[in-house]
Structure 1
Amino acid sequence: MLKKSELKDLVLEYGKKFLFPDFTNKLTWFVAGVGGAIILTPTPLKLIIYNWLVDSANLNSGTRFTLAELAPDAADYSVGVVLIIGALLHNIANRYLVYKEKKASSHDVSGQTNQIDKELFKKFLEDFPSNSDSIDMLRQQDFSNSFNIFRLANLEKFVEEWDTVEREFLNTDLERMRRELWEACYTFNYKLSMGAYDLNGGPIFSCIPDAYRGTDNWPAHVDEKIDELNGLSTTCFKLYEEFVRFGRKSIA
């Protein structure tokens, strides 16, 4: 059994289609076609048709009425023009209603998308806040100096937990920037884990091998490693700032 609300929606839907058919609908074409036929039909032929309609009405109604005689060269375009204009206006009204419905539906979807991204962005700032030790380290650390590995806890959390479908933004630009940030942080974290050594069991680490620590006489590969890590950390910090700024603007 149909519920009252479902029955109402059904009546409204089919009622709207009947009252506002698309211009490709046969009824709309028929109205416009009749209007065009009236305009294009020669006046004598129209006179014959009008008289036939009058005679048919007189035979069926029992009440006689007459139609004013038309001059053979008279041009009566008013009825045809009215029918064509009416069909066009009817179609325009239908297109307008369809446009409003689509716009309202698009607005609802956009609002839901925005709310989902808002909640996800809030979660991101909780896991990887801008005032965290990780961001401060990305901004200021020179990896020729030793560092406390615990300061990278938020960055490691981001790398470990933000590579799943549940952490993808629906806004395509925001998701692209999140992905770029994650890939940069992943690369930095991997390179650091492969190129740093703990001092006395940690948590203090250094990128300088024991044999060269405390001197300035480092092999070229050590300088290259430090330059690479400094460059990656700077890249991560810039991508982070761009992502946060864009996120605040796009889902505000």
Structure 2
Amino acid sequence: MEVLLAIATLLGGITALWFFWDKISAWLSGGMNVNSHDVGLYEEYKQLFISNGVAEFYRQHDFLGSFGEELWRPLSRYVDNWHTVEHEFTHKKLNKLHKKVYENAAELGGAIAKYTVPIGPGGHMRAVKPDYIPIGPIPEHIKEEAREINSLVPEFIKAHESFVRYANRKLGKGNA
């Protein structure tokens, strides 16, 4: 009889683990529920970088060439505004990954702000080469500034992709 009781207890324990596994794994990974604040914040992030193709632009662009001001504004706005507590995710790992994105975005944004200037009529474009430099060979210091910006892009994209993949999994979004 004791053996039967032990087997039943063991089976009951295994069944309870199986039944509550999603809650146990969520607790072990840092959070149980999808937080509406996190979902809303991630939607804002996607509007800045994904929905409009800005992240893809940064992945592909060579900063020796010019680019539209509308591709700079989302990164600039992000760096200027997303360092506040209102832009922290409640899920620990999600917030940690987002901080990595922000750190890399701040470095990239700082380099772009430092080395690019508005060009063209009305300043609707940006470039490392100002309008006042005559047509001809690009000065070496301008090429170096573009190389510096370009060197910061891979880490930003890597952090962005890690964050997006994890957020899509944790927040239940199929794609971004």
- Equivalent residue of 1:245, what SS? helix
Report the CA distance shift for 1:119/1:196 in structure 2 as closer, same or farther (over 3 A): closer
Matched, 1:137 2:57: yes
Matched, 1:172 2:95: no
Unaligned runs of 5+ in 1: 1-99
Matched, 1:195 2:142: no
Report the Cα offset of residue 113 of structure 1. 5.7
1:41 paired residue number: none
The C-alpha deviation readout for 1:45-84, integer Å capped at 9, x for no partner, is: xxxxxxxxxxxxxxxxxxxxxxxxxxxxxxxxxxxxxxxx
Q: TM-score, normalised by structure 1?
A: 0.50
Q: Over the residues paired in the alignment, what is the CA RMSD in angstroms?
A: 2.8
Q: Would you say the 8 A contact 1:137–1:152 is kept in 2? A: no
The C-alpha deviation readout for 1:185-241, integer Å capped at 9, x for no partner, is: 12211211111122244112220245655323522x322211111122232222212
Report the Cα offset of residue 157 of structure 1. 2.4
- Equivalent residue of 1:232, what SS? helix
Matched, 1:117 2:117: no
Please identify the structure whose Cα radius of gyration is greater. 1
Within 2, Cα distance between the matches of 1:205 and 1:113? 40
2:136 paired residue number: 215
Within 1, Cα distance between the matches of 2:129 and 2:78? 26
Q: Would you say the 8 A contact 1:144–1:226 is kept in 2? A: yes
1:154 paired residue number: 74
Report % sequence identity: 23
Q: TM-score, normalised by structure 2?
A: 0.69
Within 5 A, what are the aligned runs for 1:3-18? none
Report the CA distance shift for 1:209/1:154 in structure 2 as closer, same or farther (over 3 A): closer
Within 2, Cα distance between the matches of 1:239 and 1:213? 38
Within 2, Cα distance between the matches of 1:136 and 1:112? 31
Bigger RCO of structures 1 and 2 (CA < 8 A, at least 6 apart)? 2
Within 5 A, what are the aligned runs for 1:70-85? none
1:205 to 126, 129, 141: 126
Report the CA distance shift for 1:204/1:160 in structure 2 as closer, same or farther (over 3 A): same
- Equivalent residue of 2:123, what SS? coil
Report the Cα offset of residue 115 of structure 1. 4.1
- Equivalent residue of 1:154, what SS? helix
Report the CA distance shift for 1:137/1:228 in structure 2 as closer, same or farther (over 3 A): same
Within 1, Cα distance between the matches of 2:40 and 2:51? 20
- Equivalent residue of 1:198, what SS? strand
Report the CA distance shift for 1:238/1:110 in structure 2 as closer, same or farther (over 3 A): closer
Q: Would you say the 8 A contact 1:159–1:186 is kept in 2? A: yes
Q: Would you say the 8 A contact 1:134–1:153 is kept in 2? A: no
Unaligned runs of 5+ in 2: 1-19
Within 1, Cα distance between the matches of 2:99 and 2:38? 15
